[in-house]
Amino acid sequence: MGKMFAPERRNMIMGKLNEQKRVIIKELSKEIRVSEATLRTDLAKMEEEGLLKRTHGGAILPDSNTDFDTSFDMRQRKNKSEKSAIAKKASEFITSGMCILLDASSTALELARILKDMSLRLTVVTSGINTALELNEHPDITVILLGGIVKRGSFSLEGNLGVDILKKINIDLMFTSANGFSIESGLTDFSVYEVELKKEMVKASNRVIALLDHTKINKNSIASFASMDQIDIIITDTEIDNHFMEKIRDWDVRVFKAAFNE
């Protein structure tokens, strides 16, 4: 195995945690040929970000009451009313004739469910298998599913196989969620491989709209896919404190709060 960068190591650690529920530093060190000291640094950083909980000689997944769930089914059920409200607000930015891009997030899937019942003529490009299926029967929506590797335990595609398609399409709006959002790192996620595709999706889009419920704000994950200067709009369900809001506005990013009783 060649040299692994920190994001690749941490992605592998998360993969093993999701499969085995725990990792042991000594075993990991031998498997990926990295020093135990380096792995301890990785685990310490990941614990700071709420991704895991360190134990003597290794790490385990956080308790069930923490906010890290990687399975799509868990993410889809979590904060569902908040995501629905955010998706409803997001739909207001879409007009007939647009070409939009939806990532494979559970919030983007909520947006697709809203679009399914709207009278719009759209082209929708997506990396989400469920999102594509949701919109497939709409008579006036053309769905383009990006090529890629099906991510285990999810309904998303990852890798760069779909990049060529993005180069041939003019995308008006990209709607994306993230595992975390901060001024320093922008939009971040926990899958290094999915992040690589998201980076290309961001580059291909004229405007990027981030759909972020309150659990994502002012938090970081493993890898960044959109810096502050690449984000145009944030839609959230929470009031952002004034100090953090001022920092966001310094980057000319507009913030909209979704209303639950619209």
What is the pLDDT at residue 64? Answer: 39
- % of the chain beyond a pLDDT of 90: 55
pLDDT tens digits, one per residue of 111-156: 999 999 999 999 999 999 999 999 999 999 999 999 777 766 667 7
- Range 6-10 average pLDDT: 83
Please calculate the CA angle 148-182-146 and round it to the nearest 5 degrees.
15
**Domain coordinates in residue numbering, the chain:** 6-60, 72-257
* Gap between the Cα atoms of 231 and 217, Å rounded: 14
Q: Highest mean pLDDT range out of 12-21, 67-76, 243-252, 253-262?
A: 243-252
What is the pLDDT at residue 68? Answer: 43
Q: Is 199 exposed, middle or buried (0-12, 13-18, 19+ CB in 10 A)?
A: middle
* Gap between the Cα atoms of 165 and 5, Å rounded: 28
- Range 150-174 average pLDDT: 82
- % of the chain beyond a pLDDT of 70: 90
> 72-257: which CATH architecture?
3-Layer(aba) Sandwich (3.40)
Please calculate the CA angle 6-103-122 and round it to the nearest 5 degrees.
160
| HEC secondary structure over the chain | CCCCCHHHHHHHHHHHHHHHCEEEHHHHHHHHCCCHHHHHHHHHHHHHCCCCEEECCEEECCCCCCCCCCCHHHHHHCCHHHHHHHHHHHHCCCCCCCEEEECCCHHHHHHHHHHCCCCCCEEEEECEHHHHHHHCCCCCEEEEECCCEECCCCCEEECCCCHHHHCCCCEEEEEECCCEEECCCEEEECCHHHHHHHHHHHHCEEEEEEEECCCCECCCCCEEEECHHHCCEEEECCCCCHHHHHHHHCCCCEEEECCCCC
| Predicted TM-score (pTM) of this structure | 0.74
Range with the poorest average pLDDT among 70-79, 148-157, 165-174, 225-234 = 70-79
pLDDT higher than threshold 70 for residue 73: no
Specify the fold of 6-60. Arc Repressor Mutant, subunit A (1.10.10)
135-166 burial code (b ≥16 CB/10 A, e <16): beebeebebbbbebeebeebbbbbbbebbeeb
> Which has more pLDDT, 229 or 165?
229
Range with the poorest average pLDDT among 31-40, 143-152, 246-255 = 143-152
What is the pLDDT at residue 161? Answer: 76
Range with the poorest average pLDDT among 18-22, 60-64, 173-177 = 60-64
Range with the poorest average pLDDT among 123-132, 212-221, 253-262 = 253-262
- Range 193-198 average pLDDT: 86
- Range 232-260 average pLDDT: 94
